[in-house]
Chains A and B, each alone.
Chain A
Amino acid sequence: MKTSALLIRTPEGIVFAQELAGPIARFLAWLVDQACIIASTQVLGVALRAVGLLSPSLAQTFFILTYFILSLGYGMACEWWWRGQTLGKRVLRLRVMDAEGLRLHFPQIVIRNLLRAVDVLPVAYFLGGVVCWCSAKGQRLGDIAANTIVVRHPKIIEPDLGQLLAGKYNSLRLHPHLAARLRQRVSPGEASVALQAIFRRDEFEPLARVELFAELAQHFRAKVDFPAEVCAGITDEQYMRNVVDVVYRQQAQPPIMRH
């Protein structure tokens, strides 16, 4: 079955996930790499013009050999020196890894790069793309032969909670032990949904907004039973803002009492 993440379970029972890169991201990385190779070739061509004045044949020889080494060796050299990354993969935040989470070996890098000769068929990595699309681990033929995968390391941006919640009184923080329990019981997925709802609240129709926050508040109230006075007089949306504040903000802001 095709999944977007590869779960690796260690003998100690720890499971860690590697987000698999899709064919489009990989194709874009390849385009960046091709641009690098073409740019290097152009620079080389200019540099060899001087050599060409002395011996055109020698300049041509250098050009043929260097282009050959560059086009074949670029991927191998970069992935070896940068532990599974080329310039394109760095830009797209992709990395080549061993399919079983083990150390990436040089023969694996060589094989996956040499087998581009087949993946590229009939044009523009069509075969490799189709195989990658169908493969459970998102592998092209070169990856299958080398037993490698390409994973994505997206940059996680800390949510800007300062603007959203700063200076607001949060009644849930009056009960730190219950706030701590709430943090434990909320799953990453639930926390993300709550945060997105708060961030995008102005995009909803008024009625949908009320319904959404009512549903969310009901769900989160069931997780930890805060005393009634804590929730009294606040709307469902305010309650959810307080929940997000508790879950995401590590250091409690000193509550500001309203006069």
Chain B
Amino acid sequence: MIIDLQRFLQTERPYWTELESFLNQLEAEPNLVLSLERLRHFHHLYERTAADLAKITTFSSEPETRRYLENLVARAYGEIHETRVKARRFSPLQWFLKDLPRTFRRHLGAFGLSLGITLAGCAFGTLALALDPASKQVLMPFAGLQGDPTKRVAEEEKMKQDRLEGHRPDFSAGLMTHNTRVSIFTMALGMTWGVGTIFMLFYNGVLLGAVAFDYIRAGQTTFLLGWLLPHGVVEIPSILIAGQAGLVLARALIGWGRQIPLTARLREISHDLVTLIFGVAVLLVWAGFVESFLSQYHEPVVPYSAKIAFGLVELSLLTLFLAKSGTKATPATDGPPA
């Protein structure tokens, strides 16, 4: 109960100001470590301000002060009751070499499912084209894939002029941004309880299966491998990882066999989702470069054997990276991510 409001404000304001400066400092320096004494003082200021808020809430004529105190208490509450570890100083190298592969492995089941759905799509695309060749227009609704593979290969190999001359960088940038948007969309569709993500993965599989079958049936397997492997061995796993992230999100949303609330389940995976999708973006930058600067060049400019070998080396390195990188435990520095 406040009898003399002016006096109350005069007495308490210094404590609020001190708490505010504490909060500003904590928010400006995420790595700041307070001594036990300062921590106690901070807690005391928080409790005092919270008590002041309780007193002033009933006071009808002080909406500004009430809002100010609500803001202070809300900020201090966030600092004091936050149990997640604060973000440590971000190291891009450590993130890429350790956090990303570890996160990938932590959700290996979701990646397996993502791969399985895509393979099912591949099988469907192959079967559909094998049983009904007329379905090509529906399965591959892109002008570049509509023609006869044999004719295309002949044209590509005869081509004397570089059709990407002077446009390689923007072609590459276009590929990177497009594929990253598709990956983000695939992950985001996890919010449809995974239905959208599954659809995207299956559709990608159908497209891939149909294209592969079309070229293999036409006897152009070498061209197909030389064309797709250099960038595909990175691009396709990237989409699969985006699908993995979408399925992780869907699982948290559905909460199979989990007894914790939805908000806690979503909190658990938030850092992993961000790690996976940023990892996908990095991989797609590489895939974009390779597709623009290597995949579009065929024999006699670049021998297919060299392109296939390059693709296989990439695939081996990527597999090794995802399977082994960051497996060595360094407990002192590798705390749970914020």
Instruction: State whether A187 touches B82 (Cβ < 8 A).
Output: no
Partner of A68, one of B3, B54, B177: B177
Contact with B along A102-120 (1 / 0, CB 8 A): 1111111011001111100
Residues from chain B with Cβ under 8 Å of A103 in the complex: 78-79, 82
Contact with B along A74-108 (1 / 0, CB 8 A): 00000000010000000000000111111111111
Among listed A21-29, A30-38, A144-152, interface-contacting one: A144-152
Partner of A102, one of B50, B81, B169: B81
CA distance A156 to B172 in the complex (A): 52
Q: Which of B5, B168, B181, B274 has the most CB of A within 10 A?
A: B274
Partner of B174, one of A64, A105, A115: A64
Instruction: State whether B191 touches A145 (Cβ < 8 A).
Output: yes
CA distance A116 to B176 in the complex (A): 19
Interface size class of A (residues with CB under 8 A): 35 or more
Instruction: State whether B188 touches A117 (Cβ < 8 A).
Output: yes
Among listed B55-63, B145-153, B202-210, B211-219, interface-contacting one: B55-63
Given A107-B274, A248-B61, the answer on whether A8 and B67 have CB atoms closer than 8 Å is: no
**Chain B interface, >50% SS class:** helix
Given A117-B188, A250-B61, the answer on whether A12 and B50 have CB atoms closer than 8 Å is: yes
CA distance A115 to B176 in the complex (A): 19
Instruction: State whether B64 touches A64 (Cβ < 8 A).
Output: no
Given A14-B54, A16-B53, A117-B188, the answer on whether A247 and B169 have CB atoms closer than 8 Å is: no
- Check B166 for interface membership: any CB of A closer than 8 A: yes
Instruction: State whether A247 touches B61 (Cβ < 8 A).
Output: yes
Within the complex, what minimum Cβ distance (angstroms) separates B91 from chain A? 14
Instruction: State whether B166 touches A12 (Cβ < 8 A).
Output: no
Within the complex, what minimum Cβ distance (angstroms) separates B262 from chain A? 8
Residues from chain B with Cβ under 8 Å of A57 in the complex: 166-170
- Check B161 for interface membership: any CB of A closer than 8 A: no
Instruction: State whether B169 touches A118 (Cβ < 8 A).
Output: no
Q: Which residue of B lies closest to A17 (CB)?
A: B70
- Check B338 for interface membership: any CB of A closer than 8 A: yes
- From 155 to 203 in chain B, residues with beta carbon under 8 angstroms from any chain A beta carbon are 166-170, 172-174, 176-177, 180-181, 184-185, 187-189, 191-192, 196
- Check A60 for interface membership: any CB of B closer than 8 A: yes
Q: Which of A16, A106, A190 has the most CB of B within 10 A?
A: A16
Instruction: State whether B59 touches A183 (Cβ < 8 A).
Output: yes
Q: Which residue of B lies closest to A112 (CB)?
A: B270
Q: Which residue of B lies closest to A189 (CB)?
A: B60
Contact with A along B75-102 (1 / 0, CB 8 A): 0011101101001000000000000000
Instruction: State whether B170 touches A105 (Cβ < 8 A).
Output: no
Residues from chain A with Cβ under 8 Å of B167 in the complex: 57
- Check B267 for interface membership: any CB of A closer than 8 A: yes
Within the complex, what minimum Cβ distance (angstroms) separates B241 from chain A? 14
Given A58-B169, A83-B27, A184-B58, the answer on whether A114 and B78 have CB atoms closer than 8 Å is: no
Within the complex, what minimum Cβ distance (angstroms) separates B82 from chain A? 5
Given A64-B170, A105-B270, A250-B5, the answer on whether A115 and B81 have CB atoms closer than 8 Å is: no
Instruction: State whether B270 touches A108 (Cβ < 8 A).
Output: yes
- Check B323 for interface membership: any CB of A closer than 8 A: no
CA distance A191 to B58 in the complex (A): 11
- Check B259 for interface membership: any CB of A closer than 8 A: no
Given A110-B274, A247-B61, the answer on whether A11 and B177 have CB atoms closer than 8 Å is: no
- Check A53 for interface membership: any CB of B closer than 8 A: no
Given A146-B270, A188-B60, the answer on whether A105 and B53 have CB atoms closer than 8 Å is: no
Instruction: State whether B189 touches A105 (Cβ < 8 A).
Output: no
Q: Could you give 16 example pairs across A and B, Cβ below 8 Å? A: A10-B77, A14-B54, A16-B70, A16-B77, A61-B170, A64-B173, A68-B181, A105-B87, A146-B266, A186-B60, A187-B58, A188-B60, A190-B60, A191-B61, A247-B61, A251-B6
Instruction: List 7 additional contacts besides A58-B169, A101-B77; criterion CB under 8 Å.
Output: A64-B170, A64-B174, A106-B274, A114-B277, A183-B61, A186-B60, A250-B61
Chain B positions near chain A (C-beta within 8 angstroms):
1-6, 27, 47, 50-51, 53-54, 58-61, 63-64, 67, 70-71, 73-74, 77-79, 81-82, 84, 87, 166-170, 172-174, 176-177, 180-181, 184-185, 187-189, 191-192, 196, 249, 253, 263, 266-267, 270-271, 273-274, 277, 338
8 smallest beta-carbon distances between A and B, as pairs: A191-B60, A60-B170, A61-B169, A68-B177, A64-B173, A117-B188, A107-B270, A14-B50
